[in-house]
Chain A
Amino acid sequence: MLPRPRLLIVDDELLIRDLLYDFFKNRDYDIAVAENGQRALDQFAGGHFDTIILDLKMPDMDGLELAARIRATDQDVPIIIMTGYPSLDSAIEALRRRADDYFVKPFNLKQMSKAVEAALARTASKRPELSTGETRI
C-alpha cells in the first residue's frame, strides 16, 4: 500500500490551519501544521513532505522568503502559495520560486485539493519507484 501523502500547512491564522487540516484529514492525507515560517523550516528540516501549502503574510517571515529557503534545499517539493493580499509582484516572485500554484483567499477547497493532486502527480512522474524488495535506491 502506498504511504499517505504528507502535507505541511503553514499559516499564522488558526482558522485557516484548522480548515485545511480538517479538509485534508478527511481525504486521507498525513498532515503537519506550522503557525509561522520558522516552525515550518524546523518541520521541513525534520521530515519529508510531499507538498507545502503556505501563506504569504506571516509575522515572523514572509511566505516568499520561506519559499526561497525551502527551494535552497529542495528544488522539487511542490509549494502552493495562498494569500489574502494578492499582488502582481508577489505572483511573479512566487513563479520565480517555482511555486506550483497561487491561491487568493477566500478560495474553493476543492480547487486546492485539485492543485495538491496535480502537484503530487508532477513529482510522482519525476520520481520513478526504485525499489526491489528491501533494496531501495
Chain B
Amino acid sequence: MTPTRAPHVLVVDDEQFVRDLLQDYFTKMEFSVVTAADGQAGIDACRRERFDVALVDLKMPGKGGIEVLAEVREIDASLPVVVMTGYPTIDSSIEAIRRGAYDYIIKPFKLQELKELIDRAVKEQTLSREIEDLRQRLTHVESELRQYRSRSECRATVAAAPAPGALWHDITP
C-alpha cells in the first residue's frame, strides 16, 4: 500500500480570485497547491512535476481548458483532470468526455464538495498507478517465463533426439 500523503494539486485559472480562494482553502486542508494563471503555465507545471489532481478552468485567454486537458493527459495519462466552468455547455462537456476528463464541475461550487471530489480522485488515481505498476511487473515476469520456456523446450529437443548409435542403426541395412 502506498502511504497516505498530502495530495499535490494543480489549479489552472485565469481569475486571481479563484486561484487565491482554492489555494487558501486547500492549504487549510493541508493539500500542497501549485497555481497557474494560464493554460501554458499549467502545462509547463505538469512537465516539471507530478500532480495527483489538476483543476482546470474551461474558459481562459490563450489555451483553453480543453486544450490544457488534452496536453496534460499526453504528459501524464493517469492524471485526473477536473474541468471547472462558469459557462457550461453540452458541447464542452462532450469534449471533456472525449479528452478523458475526470469530472466537469459548474461554478460556483461548494468547496466541501470539491474537496470530496479531490479525495476520491486521488484515491482512484493511487489505485490506478498501483495497477499500472503491477501490470508492468507482470509483463516482466511474462518475458522471463517466455525465456525460461524457450530454454526448457531447447533442452527437451536435445533430450528427445535419438542417440548417435540408434541413428546409425536406423540407416544401416
Contact pick for B104, options A92, A101, A133, A135, CB 8 Å? A92
| Stretch from B14-22, B48-56, B90-98, B161-169 that touches the partner | B90-98
* A contact residues around B89 at 8 Å (CB): 88
Please determine whether A135 and B149 come into contact, CB atoms closer than 8 angstroms. Answer: yes
* A contact residues around B88 at 8 Å (CB): 88, 92
* A contact residues around B142 at 8 Å (CB): 130, 132, 137
Interface size on B, residues (CB 8 A): 18
User: Which secondary structure dominates chain B's binding surface?
Assistant: helix
Q: Which of B14-63 contact A (CB under 8 A)?
A: none
Closest residue to B145 on the A side, CB-wise?
A132
> B123 at the A/B interface (Cβ < 8 Å)?
no
> A96 at the A/B interface (Cβ < 8 Å)?
yes
Contact pick for A101, options B98, B135, B138, CB 8 Å? B98
> B67 at the A/B interface (Cβ < 8 Å)?
no
Q: How far is the CA of A100 from the CA of B96 in the complex (A)?
A: 10
* A contact residues around B93 at 8 Å (CB): 88, 91-92, 95, 102
> A108 at the A/B interface (Cβ < 8 Å)?
no
Q: Which of under 10, 10 to 19, 20 to 34, or 35 or more describes the interface residues of A? A: 10 to 19
Taking A102-B94, A137-B138 as contacts, is the C-beta distance between A95 and B101 under 8 angstroms? yes
Please determine whether B138 and A130 come into contact, CB atoms closer than 8 angstroms. Answer: yes
Taking A132-B145, A132-B146, A135-B149 as contacts, is the C-beta distance between A91 and B139 under 8 angstroms? no
* A contact residues around B145 at 8 Å (CB): 132, 135
Q: How far is the CA of A94 from the CA of B97 in the complex (A)?
A: 8
Contact pick for B90, options A87, A101, A126, A137, CB 8 Å? A87
User: Which secondary structure dominates chain A's binding surface?
Assistant: mixed
Q: How far is the CA of A86 from the CA of B138 in the complex (A)?
A: 42
Q: How far is the CB of A20 from chain B (nearest CB, A)?
A: 19
Q: How far is the CB of B135 from chain A (nearest CB, A)?
A: 7
* B contact residues around A135 at 8 Å (CB): 145, 149
Taking A88-B88, A88-B89, A96-B103 as contacts, is the C-beta distance between A130 and B97 under 8 angstroms? no
A sample of 14 cross-chain residue pairs with beta-carbon separation below 8 angstroms, ordered by A number, consists of A86-B90, A88-B88, A88-B93, A91-B90, A91-B97, A92-B104, A96-B103, A100-B97, A101-B94, A102-B93, A128-B135, A132-B145, A132-B146, A137-B138
Known: A92-B88, A95-B104. 19 other contacts (CB 8 A): A86-B90, A88-B89, A88-B90, A91-B93, A91-B104, A95-B97, A95-B101, A99-B97, A100-B97, A100-B98, A101-B98, A102-B93, A102-B94, A102-B97, A128-B135, A128-B139, A130-B139, A135-B145, A135-B149
Residues of B participating in the A interface, judged by any CB pair closer than 8 Å = 88-90, 93-94, 96-98, 101, 103-104, 135, 138-139, 142, 145-146, 149
